Chains A and B, each alone.
Chain A
Amino acid sequence: MKRLLLILVCIVAIGTAKGQNVLLEQDPAADTTTETIGPNLRDFFQTFYGYGNFIGTNNPATAVRYTSYHLTAGIRYKRRISEYYSIGTELAYTNNTYALKQQPSKQVPDSVLHKKERLSWMYMGLSNI
């Protein structure tokens, strides 16, 4: 009870205390810096990611389930070389995972049927753009 009373007193005290109420505070130095990295500037870093599903008719021997997916993420660097052109490179991680349908016609990677079976390929690559 004493503790509750103390908390209440504190709350009332905070509510009635008047201090300096700063309405506007600005540091102009931060507004006058020259950016060198960003869209359309000389150097530009960009992260990207993507997710996709496989579509189309499956070969009965390699049929995949809807839970199969393609996942990619990476970082891209671009350097502006003229008004209209840039060159750059990107480092990307890609994961292609195929959830195989367990059906009698299955042949990949073998004809043995399981409760669940997945094949995954992971890539890490550097490419130029």
Chain B
Amino acid sequence: MRARWQAYCTIVLIALLYSGFVSAQSKFRVYFKDKQTEFNPFTYFDAKAIDRRVKSGLSLTDSTDFPVNQSYINQVSALADSARPASRWFNCISVFTDAKRAADIAKLPFVKLVQQLLPDYPQPLCSYDFDTTIKVKNLKLMDAQLNMLGAAKFKDKGIDGKGIRIAILDAGFPTVDKNPAFEHIRNDKRIIATYDFCKNRESVYDFNSHGTMVMACIGGRLNGQNIGLATGADFLLARTESPGYEIYSEEEYWLAGAEWADKNGADIINSSLGYTNDLYFRHQMDGRHSIIAKAATMAVKKGILVVNAAGNEGDGNWKIVASPADADSVLTVGGVDPYRQYHSNFSSYGPNRNLKMKPNVSAAGTVATMGERSVTVASGTSFASPLTAGFAACAWQLNKDWKNTDLFDKIQQSASLYPYFDYAHGYGIPQAGFFIDTVKSIAPTFTVSLPTQGTDSTGNYSGINVKIDSLHFNVDWKLKDRLLFYHIENTKGYLDRYYVIEVEEENPLYVDSNELKKGEMLRIHYRGYTFEYKQPD
């Protein structure tokens, strides 16, 4: 009996000692004062990365591209138990060590700053034969998710993203190395490189199938049916996300993944992830707080188009976009219903905290895609983002001399609502026709009776009436053809209120102009035509 008690006590003691040891290990990010000065971009970068920089007018000897001084890494690593890959963009490295040794690191003459971070958590494993049948309802959905982007226009011209390199940063890509939906990509050896930043190894074909579904939405093809638009693109696959937990390390993996993508010549990064209330407050969603938003902004500065999902918090307490979708220069994609073509309730709203419009554009938030073993229906802005990334690759293939920022602007201009926008849809759904056809001016689809001063008993402006043109009014049309959007933009340039209404009668909207303040703008959009009215000063 006594021996048993002694054994219990020993186990408890060891557990306590071990927990104390674990809690003593903390994570720190160490920023360096300077960098290695010898750098040859032609030996360091992939040729495509060089081409992108030249095309974007970027210096090939930008100091943010210089490698981190290996001597610094060695000296800091000597004072740590383990270290993450160093970031050349931010000239820093993350290490696990205790507080005393962190203080010693801070005293090193080349160290600029040591920041303590929150700890990491271990991740579970997951496993994975293929059913290649596409049910009729799934086939219908696949067609809807592509047709809303005008996919036939690209297909007719033979545009499939060829020559464009897309990096996917996600939570794992199980079966991509054997899945029939990616056979055309594997056969052409268009998976250029892979890296698992969570495990520090090359293979990415395990863990969460989210990445597999996302990749299918960019360039998957099954039984001759396209799932995404960029079936001819090149791919870089990086696992940066550990499913189940949202930890700061994932942001560092993302940063390392973005730098890796840059080095390997990515033109586009698709990132169907976001960080919210586990790590941040809503008021920090300004593109300047999180390291992932800063990394995304830096990737854009390197000439890469970063496409990111808005987030799935629209019907939750968080409600607004997640990070890095909050960064101004990231092409943030919201989710719409593939048939009704207006906002899916889960899609996160904008604006970001700088009051910049977010999301920028929208795509199908419910899709039919290839999963680990079979075709599956999935919902979330995670799938709207890759559909748009595939679209962007096709648009870029048509206009290879464009910079990433040109492409960003043109995708917005191509969208279904442009120049109208709101914080649920952005500029709407990008349209392939914009890049193929000659742009024609759109004839008015409705008329507006404007207010005249002094017509009511108080001498104020009267109301604004909208009358739908008879050619554009039919109650039997599908809902997507009967959506009327309107918003009120204040004098500071952002929206005070916005609405979507279903047109059920020829006079669907009356706005009391007395409710508009001086200088405020009322915009109304219906079936491609946008009308603007500014309240006189």
Query: Which of A2-10, A22-30, A106-114 participates in binding chain B?
Result: A22-30
Known: A26-B423, A31-B320. A18 touches B343 (CB 8 A): no
List the B residue with the shortest CB-CB distance to A22: B501
Please measure, in the bound complex, the distance between the C-alpha atom of A31 and the C-alpha atom of B319, giving whole angstroms: 8
Assess whether A32 is in contact with B353, with CB atoms less than 8 Å apart. Answer: yes
With A20-B508, A21-B501, A26-B422 already in contact, 16 other A-B pairs whose C-beta atoms are closer than 8 Å: A20-B501, A20-B504, A21-B504, A22-B500, A22-B501, A23-B501, A24-B499, A24-B500, A26-B349, A26-B423, A26-B498, A27-B496, A28-B498, A31-B319, A34-B283, A35-B281
- Count B interface residues, CB 8 Å: 29
B483 sits at the interface (CB 8 A): yes
Bound-state Cα–Cα, A32 to B354, Å:
9
Asked whether A21 and B282 contact (CB < 8 A) given A28-B351, A31-B320, A32-B355, the answer is: no
Q: Is B216 interfacial (CB 8 A cutoff)?
A: no
A19 is an interface residue with CB less than 8 A from chain B: yes
The answer to whether A28 and B281 have CB atoms under 8 Å apart is no
A41 contacts B by Cβ under 8 Å = yes
User: Which of chain A's residues 40-77 have a Cβ closer than 8 Å to chain B?
Assistant: 40-41
Contacts of A41 in B (CB 8 A): 281
From B353, B424, B505, A24 is in contact (CB under 8 Å) with B424
Q: Does B424 lie within 8 Å of A26, measured CB to CB? A: yes
Nearest-neighbor residue (CB-CB) of B318 within chain A? A31
Closest Cβ–Cβ distance, residue A50 to chain B (whole Å): 25
Contacts of B495 in A (CB 8 A): 28
How distant is the Cα of A22 from the Cα of B423 in the complex, in angstroms?
16
Tell me if A28 and B423 are in contact (CB < 8 A). Answer: yes
Residues on B with C-beta less than 8 A from A29 are 496
A-to-B contact residues, CB < 8 Å: 18-29, 31-32, 34-35, 40-41
Total number of residue pairs linking A and B with CB closer than 8 Å: 61
A31–B350 alpha-carbon span in the complex (Å): 8
Instruction: Provide the bound-state CA to CA distance between A23 and B350, in Å.
Output: 18
**A28 and B494 contact, CB distance less than 8 A:** yes
Q: Enumerate chain B interface residues (CB-CB to A < 8 A).
A: 281-283, 319-320, 342-343, 349-351, 353, 355, 422-424, 483, 494-502, 504-505, 508-509
Whether A27 contacts B501 by the Cβ 8 Å rule is: no
A29 to B, closest residue via Cβ: B496
16 contacts between A and B (CB under 8 A): A18-B505, A20-B504, A20-B509, A23-B342, A23-B500, A23-B502, A24-B342, A24-B424, A24-B500, A26-B349, A26-B423, A26-B497, A28-B349, A28-B351, A32-B355, A40-B281
A31 B283 Cβ-Cβ under 8 A:
no
Check A28–B496 contact: CB distance below 8 A.
yes
Contacting pair A18 B501 (CB below 8 A): no
For the complex formed, measure the closest distance between the CB of A35 and the CB atoms of chain B, giving whole angstroms.
7
Whether A18 contacts B504 in the complex (CB less than 8 A), given A26-B424, A27-B497, A28-B423, comes out as yes
List, in ascending order, chain A residues with CB within 8 A of B349's CB. Answer: 26, 28, 31
* Chain B neighbourhood of A34, CB < 8 A: 282-283
Q: Roughly how many angstroms separate A41 CA and B495 CA in the complex, as a whole number?
A: 28
Q: How far is the CA of A21 from the CA of B508 in the complex (A)?
A: 9
> A35 to B505, Cβ gap below 8 A?
no
Query: What B residues does A28 contact at CB under 8 A?
Result: 349-351, 423, 494-498
Q: In the bound complex, do residue B282 and residue A35 qualify as a contact, i.e. CB atoms below 8 Å apart?
A: yes
Bound form: Cα–Cα A20–B495 in Å: 21
Q: How far is the CA of A80 from the CA of B509 in the complex (A)?
A: 49
Please report the C-alpha to C-alpha distance between residue A19 and residue B505 in the assembled complex, in whole angstroms.
8
B494 to chain A: closest residue by CB: A28
CA distance A27 to B424 in the complex (A): 11
Looking at the assembled complex, report how far the CB atom of B118 sits from the nearest CB atom of chain A, in whole angstroms. 10
B247 → chain A, closest Cβ, in Å?
16
Q: Taking CB as reference atom, which chain A residue is nearest B509? A: A20
B313 to chain A, nearest CB (A): 11
How far apart are B162's CB and chain A's nearest CB, in angstroms?
38
Nearest A-chain residue to B283, judged by Cβ? A34
**B504 cross-chain contacts in A, Cβ below 8 A:** 18-21
Q: Which residue of A lies closest to B282 (CB)?
A: A35
Residues of A with C-beta under 8 A to B483: 23
10 nearest A-B pairs in the assembled complex, by CB-CB distance: A24-B500, A21-B502, A18-B504, A34-B283, A23-B500, A25-B499, A22-B501, A20-B501, A26-B498, A28-B495
Which residues of chain A are near B494, meaning CB under 8 Å? Answer: 28
User: How far in angstroms is the closest Cβ of chain A from B528?
Assistant: 18
Instruction: Tell me the minimal C-beta distance from A83 to chain B in angstroms.
Output: 8
Which partner residue on chain A sits nearest B350 by CB separation? A28
Instruction: Count chain B CB atoms within 10 A of each CB in A21, A22, A26 and give the residue with the most.
Output: A26
- Tell me the minimal C-beta distance from B312 to chain A in angstroms: 16
- Please report the C-alpha to C-alpha distance between residue A57 and residue B196 in the assembled complex, in whole angstroms: 59
Q: Are A24 and B343 neighbours in the complex by a CB distance under 8 Å?
A: yes
Q: B353 contacts which chain A residues (CB < 8 A)?
A: 32
Taking a contact as CB atoms under 8 Å apart, the answer to whether A22 and B496 are in contact is no
Inside 8 A of A40's CB, which chain B residues have their CB? 281
B99 to chain A, nearest CB (A): 12
A26 to B315, CA, bound (A): 12
Q: Determine the chain B residues whose CB is within 8 A of the CB of A19 once the complex forms.
A: 504-505
In the bound complex, residues from chain A placing their C-beta under 8 Å from that of B350 are 28
Bound state CA distance, A103 and B509, in angstroms? 79
B303 to chain A, nearest CB (A): 31
Q: How far is the CB of A18 from chain B (nearest CB, A)?
A: 4
Chain B residues closer than 8 Å to A24, beta-carbon distance: 342-343, 424, 498-500
